[in-house]
Chains A and B, each alone.
Chain A
Amino acid sequence: MSHTEPAAGATDAPVLEVRGLRKSFGDHTVLKSIDLTVRRGQVVALIGPSGSGKTTVLRCLNGLEVPDAGTVEVAGEVRVDFAAAPSRGQLAALRDRSAMVFQHYNLFPHRTVLENIIEGPVQVQRRRRAEAEAEALSLLGRVGLADKRDSYPFELSGGQQQRVGIVRALALRPQLLLFDEPTSALDPELVGDVLTVIKELADEGWTMLIVTHELAFARQVANEVIFMDGGVVVERGHPDTVLRAPRQERTKQFVDRLLNPF
């Protein structure tokens, strides 16, 4: 699988640099100047209450939302300053370097598992079909779904669909993987399978930004945890600090409530 594994070395080179990211929807300001750095091979977990803006951050990075201001730089190759409206080419360049895994999987229901995975490589990246299929099958095998290649998404459980969603993202050979609450839509007993896959990716050195409510998972996998609330970063640091001994009162309240819901 050497062709899909991220380049080794240069572990401290930033894959993602975000400065002063702002976004409003009408009168409602969702992001008030967010700064963010993710270095090669790092896993950063973005946590916070709903409405804190964490999902919007991801969506801005993948061009699903256009920020009002700020700069985003990916892999030192693409730098977009949103002070001016970005061109389609700039948004496409951002998307080319990152891949998104959605909360609700968003697989294409009219295509088989294999077709879902090779759609981007073949249709967008213009790679040879045979090569894309071979790579897709080997990735499917790694998440334990090789026998589902010809199934349609509706024939799969939520956990299986999300693993296909992850493979679809990996098949694009991105520099950066973005996860938007990848386990929030799953039945509790299926969460583990998906988290195991993500943890394996982390161990392999993939660079990832993960929006999640799974604090135990974040503590185990992330190099850094960022707590957002009200469109700002309230606290960031080592998972043990942020999740166990937060400095900010708001972080403490949030973490306590997730750990002790009753």
Chain B
Amino acid sequence: MSVNWDLVWSSLGPMLIGAIQGTIPLALASFVLGLVLALAVALMRLSRYRVVAAIARAYVSIIRGTPLLVQLFVIFYGLPSIGVTISPWPSAIIAFSLNVGGYAAEVIRAAILSVPKGQWEAGHTIGMSRRQTLVRVILPQAARVSVPPLSNTFISLVKDTSLASLILVTELFRQAQQVAAFSQEFMLLYLEAAVIYWIICLVLSSGQSLLEKRLGRYVAH
């Protein structure tokens, strides 16, 4: 089997455009929004008010208990039938953010709980309010603990954005599909797409190591 290098080369352009204009911004925007949502949900789960905690628990349960593809389809193909039509990009960002929100909420909750109770007490005894203690004492320590699992979430998300091709978002995988359909070189083009995803994830992994090092400067090695 000989490799059609011309095709590899000529398809690289559209795929990289798909990555740069689709995959990467989609993943970044969804992750940032998802993290904000996740922090809120994590704090709700830790709330003293049972109703608040129950709402957060139900949300996490629904997100984790249903396939991401189904969530995406409900938003893009389902909502129009009740009169809510959302275009592909916003649909994808909503679905992915909600998904990250559910998974990352559990990570953040666990990270907050992993900070020793004595840290809350130290904050209180120097006169800090709960909110001040949370922001200045607990969350910075929780952040360090949550970097590895949140990196996992982010890397999964980068790959999951390929599902957005099914709701007509032009991203890396959709570009690969289109070139493949045209040229009938499925093996070559899907492997090429896989390599590009892999490279993106390698870059992210090294970013994770840097971040861990930076946040770990106050821990014994």
Please give the residue numbers on chain A whose beta carbons come within 8 Å of chain B beta carbons, in ascending order: 62-64, 88, 92, 95-96, 99-100, 102, 104, 106-111, 119-120, 123-125, 152-154, 168, 172
Contacts and interface: CB of A to CB of B under 8 A. Distances in A.
Contacts of A152: 217-218
A104 B118 contact: yes
A123 B128 CA distance: 8
A108 B122 contact: yes
Interface string B127-158: 11100100011001100100000000000000
A116 to B, nearest CB: 9
Contacts of A125: 127
Interface of B: 116, 118-119, 121-122, 124-129, 132, 136-137, 140-141, 144, 217-220
A106 B127 contact: no
Nearest to B126: A120
B121 A106 contact: yes
B212 to A, nearest CB: 14
B28 to A, nearest CB: 26
A123 B127 CA distance: 9
Given A109-B218, A154-B219, A124 B127 contact: yes
A99 B217 contact: no
A123 B124 CA distance: 12
A124 B126 contact: yes
Contacts of A119: 126, 136
A172 B128 CA distance: 12
- Residue of A110, A119, A125, A154 contacting most chain B CB atoms (<10 Å): A110
Contact of B122 (A106, A110, A154): A106
A168 B137 CA distance: 15
For the complex of A and B, 9 pairs with smallest distance between CB atoms = A120-B126, A124-B127, A106-B122, A106-B118, A100-B125, A152-B218, A154-B220, A110-B140, A110-B218
Contacts of A109: 141, 218-219
A256 to B, nearest CB: 33
A185 to B, nearest CB: 11
Nearest to A64: B121
B125 A62 contact: yes
Contacts of A108: 119, 122, 137
